[in-house]
């Protein structure tokens, strides 16, 4: 699951979309990983979060080199632009990866759609950025829209359940919801 809270991410829909995106990119499903945050393209892992790993990996199936890394598979040049444009310190920690993905979703016009629950339209807006989304056109494996919508619904349900459990624990300890 994304490391940001719903409030930090802009709502439960955003968290569920991030989790769907990580599933689509194939990073969050690697069991030994840090929920995909430490994955290089091709499935290898890295351990240093101080900066984007910048490892150029040959992908013979697609006949390209790629520097994609992290839960959302940021290319080194994309990460550099995010650091430059948004004042990130450059650390590749999980929370920064979540925030960077949200910045990209904002730039492509998908974030308002996500927050409104218009997930199919948001996926279409985000597809030029993430090769695993339908219609991306990078010549790589693209997931079916129906599969993505199913994963999104599952993740959203999990986020709602987690939020409900947190509220129950808070009120059981004498807290009063705002």
Given a cut of 60, whether residue 150 has pLDDT beyond it is: yes
Given a cut of 60, whether residue 138 has pLDDT beyond it is: yes
pLDDT band at residue 140 under the 50/70/90 scheme: confident
Between the alpha carbon of residue 64 and those of residues 36, 57, 138, the distances in Å are: 22, 8, 11
Given a cut of 70, whether residue 163 has pLDDT beyond it is: no
Given 25, 142, 155, 159, the catalytic residue: 25
Q: What is the DSSP letter of 128?
A: T
pLDDT band at residue 141 under the 50/70/90 scheme: confident
φ, ψ (nearest 5 deg) of residue 74: -75, 130
Question: Average per-residue pLDDT in the chain?
Answer: 92
Please compute the mean of the pLDDT values over residues 158-170 and round it to a whole number.
68
Joined together, the tokens standing for residue 84 give 């430059």
Given a cut of 90, whether residue 16 has pLDDT beyond it is: yes
Contact 1, 15 (CB under 8 A): yes
Cα torsion 24, 25, 28, 29: sign: positive
pLDDT band at residue 89 under the 50/70/90 scheme: confident
Residue 139 confidence (pLDDT) = 78
Whether 165 sits among the annotated catalytic residues: the reply is no
Instruction: Tell me the CATH number for domain 6-172.
Output: 1.10.530.10
């Amino acid at each position: 699951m994304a490391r940001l809270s719903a409030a930090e991410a802009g709502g439960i829909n955003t968290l569920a979309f991030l989790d769907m995106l990580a599933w689509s990119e194939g990073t969050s499903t690697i069991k030994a990983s840090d929920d995909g945050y430490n994955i290089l393209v091709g499935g290898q892992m890295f351990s240093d979060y101080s900066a984007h790993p910048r490892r150029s990996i040959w992908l013979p199936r697609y006949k390209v080199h790629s520097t994609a890394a992290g839960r959302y598979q940021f290319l080194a040049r994309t990460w550099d632009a995010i650091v430059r444009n948004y004042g990130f310190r450059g650390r590749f920690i999980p929370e920064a990866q979540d925030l960077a993905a949200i910045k990209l979703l904002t730039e492509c016009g998908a974030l308002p759609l996500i927050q409104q629950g218009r997930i199919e339209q948001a996926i279409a807006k985000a597809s030029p950025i993430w090769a695993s989304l339908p219609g991306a056109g990078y010549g790589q494996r693209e997931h079916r829209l129906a599969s993505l919508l199913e994963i999104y619904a599952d993740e959203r349900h999990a986020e709602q359940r987690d939020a409900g459990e947190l509220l129950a624990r808070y009120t059981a300890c004498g807290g009063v919801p705002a």
